[in-house]
Amino acid sequence: MVGSIEAKSLQSNGSVHHNGLNLEEKLDEFRRLLGKSDKDPLRIVSVGAGAWGSVFAALLQESYGGFRDKFQIRIWRRAGRAVDRETAEHLFEVINSREDILRRLIRRCAYLKYVEARLGDRTLYADEILKDGFCLNMVDTPLCPLKVVTNLQEAVWDADIVVNGLPSTETREVFEEISKYWKERITVPIIISLSKGIETALEPVPHIITPTKMIHQATGVPIDNVLYLGGPNIAAEIYNKEYANARICGAAKWRKPLAKFLRQPHFIVWDNSDLVTHEVMGGLKNVYAIGAGMVAALTKESATSKSVYFAHCTSEMIFITHLLAEEPEKLAGPLLADTYVTLLKGRNAWYGQMLAKGEINRDMGDSISGKGMIQGVSAVGAFYQLLSQSSLSILPSEEKKLVAPVESCPILKTLYKILITREQSTQAILQALRDETLNDPRDRIEIAQSHAFYRPSLLGQP
């Protein structure tokens, strides 16, 4: 059964074990760290119900939800989002293809509403189906039932841990609202951000603002209590118990115990101190995933063309990481792994493919039905704006004048013209690859490695 906890046994004392790991002991250990009393449950809320945010909540519910006196998790999403007829019909097919899901809905007296929605006699809503375990952005992967709250104040006011499952473009606004409900809080919550996206600010100097910084600025929660969790993962596959790993980044006080608390047999969580850089890299790979999707569609999945694109886009990412990180070589593995999985099956690559095929268009915006927010679009604009600043100018080899870093990133420039200014069609991405004046990708890497590129101010460092 999809979503069941494998390798699980119930011991005589009622404790659930995962391959010898006592979940109740893990829960008790983390509760003690937070100073929770026996009758005060650990309260977690996931803010935002996209694919990853919903899966994250479902994983915790399945692991710890049985300890009702010690653990509570809920998920917040806005009310009022209607499920369109086509999705309702597909959802009905998914339900009827899974005997376990069908039986569960019948037992909960919830099946009839899906029958009526399929016939067009009833409108389903996203928050309504989420209670039954269906994420609107991932209807093919039913989750466990979740406690859904549509009132933001009710969701967050007493939460010990808040999980940010929002797109970066919505993070600041929602957490500014949350901060109003925390004015009289005595304890400081822990916040785990899953968001991969960035903004660029130009004052007082050009720099990147990541979701964890947005949350810190919006709420006043100390940055040591704000962490980032990310990795080379596809949400649906994690829920289906494919082996996966991730890193939780931030201050040692919380990242190490959280890594232990979140770890499962199929989902290994490591910890790292480099919060902002890992967060930025999570946004960077989305930029180039869109272009990869375009190349795949325009060349009918040509392995040669895709490999040429991969060589150029990875050289640009390496070039950019040398500007952003003091020790960029440490990011090579995580960045390439995250890029690889996104190219294989991520929504940003899918978006690039659909644009190139003409099945969607840029006027439809960044939020696509059934997929959610395409974070790579805003990231293209943010990275282009940042790297086009004259104050960051560099002197490439064989050049006699300083140029903005973006001039060494032709793929990024082309994506900007396709997605942001819309002055070029998707075909332009192929021209960027075929341009005879384009340098060997190795040259771009050598330029970055041979210069003192690192600009700590770009990530807000002194």
How far apart (Å, rounded) are the C-alpha atoms in residues 385 and 375?
16
* pLDDT for 39: 86
More confident call, 456 vs 286: 286
* Residue 272, burial from CB neighbour count under 10 angstroms (0-12, 13-18, 19+): middle
Angle between helix axes 99-107 and 111-119 (nearest 10 degrees) is: 110
Give the number of other CB atoms < 10 A from CB of residue 349. Answer: 26
Name the pLDDT band for 132 (thresholds 50, 70, 90). very high
User: Which residue of the set 285, 371, 413, 417 is catalytic?
Assistant: 285
Beta bridge partners of 10: 16
What is the rounded distance in angstroms from the CA atom of residue 458 to the CA atom of residue 395? 18
Determine the 3-state secondary structure of 192 from DSSP: strand
Cβ(287)–Cβ(380) below 8 Å: yes
Domain 276-459 class? mainly alpha
For the segment 173-185, what is each residue's pLDDT rounded down to a tens digit? 999 999 999 998 8
| DSSP reduced 3-state for 373 | strand
285 as an active site residue: the answer is yes
Q: How many CB atoms sit inside 10 A of residue 85's CB?
A: 14
Which fold is adopted by the domain 24-80+147-196+210-273?
Rossmann fold (3.40.50)
Q: Domain residue spans in the chain?
A: 24-80+147-196+210-273, 85-124, 276-459
294 contact partners, CB below 8 Å, separation of at least 6:
352, 353, 355, 356, 418, 426, 429
Mean pLDDT of 341-353: 90
Model pTM above 0.95: no
> Is the model's pLDDT at 2 over the cut of 50?
no
End-to-end CA distance of the chain: 51
CA–CA dist 210, 191 (Å, integer): 14
